[in-house]
Amino acid sequence: MARSARTARRKAMREVPRSIAGLRARLAATPLPGAEAARADRARRMLDAWLGTAERHGVPYRDAVRAMATGEVARQVAGALLAETMRDPPPIVTEAACAAGCAFCCILDGPDGGTITEAEARALHSALAPLAGHPDGRDWHPQACPALDPETRTCRAYDARPLLCRSFLSRDADACRVNAEGGAAEGAGLLGAHLDYLAIHALSRETLVGLVKVSTFALREIAAASVEGASCDTALARARHTPRVLDDTRRGTARAASAASRPRRAGRDAASGPEGENRN
């Protein structure tokens, strides 16, 4: 970072904002470490546009901070980008093999299963808590997401599923099966909106340093705790990531997106092909 930018960043971080205008000034001086300049600039523009709209509509400062901290802003912006992608879908969408009951992508990698925001974690808990005690995805496959219905292999939290799930698709269901079994087949990936989502949430966190804590959560753990009857607070506590997970996820996903394609084995967070990038 250039000296003048460092000075501006220090000055912005010293001043505690009292308004959305103050937040926007902070955002303007906040870098996103480890991100490509173009990705960081794009995330900053979109976050600033959200804040500008909130300001014009008289959204209280505290509500704007909370929306940034919980990931609601990232969810709204990336959701709009996804909707735009679907209006003029790229080949990865039109040629996707995805169908109800095809659930190899819901067999989650590792203990984490994917990075989600607080807003998404709370929504998943609300959707799954009433299903506590019912058979869940692990009755079909030991590594399956607990939100999955083991009989129909459809998502029992469909309307509340996180952006990670909404962004993941594949041209080849058999490649997904191979990858779920530990192989390295090509064909599956994340739409580019997911990269924006991660960048916007990470930039929100950088902007809010010293104001409020911003966390991310493990999809598998939230779903498991929810279907096991844990309260929302307990589920969040069980699933809370250390701060570096968001940065690791963001960097891993960006690296994967710059490659021609990546195998599913690296995890859904890291499976991103350039074919799925937004074209806007």
Positions in the binding site for ligand SF4 (CB under 6 A): 97-98, 102, 104-106, 145, 147-148, 155, 157, 161, 165, 168-170, 173, 176, 188, 223
What DSSP assignment string belongs to 160-188?
A: G--HHHHHEEES-HHHHHHHHTT---S-E
Distance (Å, whole) CA 176 – CA 198: 23
In the complex, the smallest distance separating the C-beta of residue 109 from ligand SF4, rounded to whole angstroms, is 11
With respect to ligand SF4, which residue has the nearer C-beta, 159 or 244?
A: 159
Distance (Å, whole) CA 159 – CA 76: 14
With respect to ligand SF4, which residue has the nearer C-beta, 204 or 226?
A: 226
What DSSP assignment string belongs to 51-87?
A: HHHHHHTT--HHHHHHHHHHTHHHHHHHHHHHHHHHH
With respect to ligand SF4, which residue has the nearer C-beta, 17 or 162?
A: 162
In the complex, the smallest distance separating the C-beta of residue 46 from ligand SF4, rounded to whole angstroms, is 24
With respect to ligand SF4, which residue has the nearer C-beta, 82 or 176?
A: 176
In the complex, the smallest distance separating the C-beta of residue 218 from ligand SF4, rounded to whole angstroms, is 12
In the complex, the smallest distance separating the C-beta of residue 217 from ligand SF4, rounded to whole angstroms, is 12
Going by C-alpha positions, the residue among 155, 20, 25, 173 that lies closest to residue 97 is 173
Q: How many residues does the chain have?
A: 280
With respect to ligand SF4, which residue has the nearer C-beta, 125 or 205?
A: 125
Phi-psi region of 110 (alpha: psi -120 to 50; beta: other; left: phi over 0): left
Asked if 121 contacts 236 with a C-beta cutoff of 8 angstroms, the reply is yes
In the complex, the smallest distance separating the C-beta of residue 136 from ligand SF4, rounded to whole angstroms, is 9
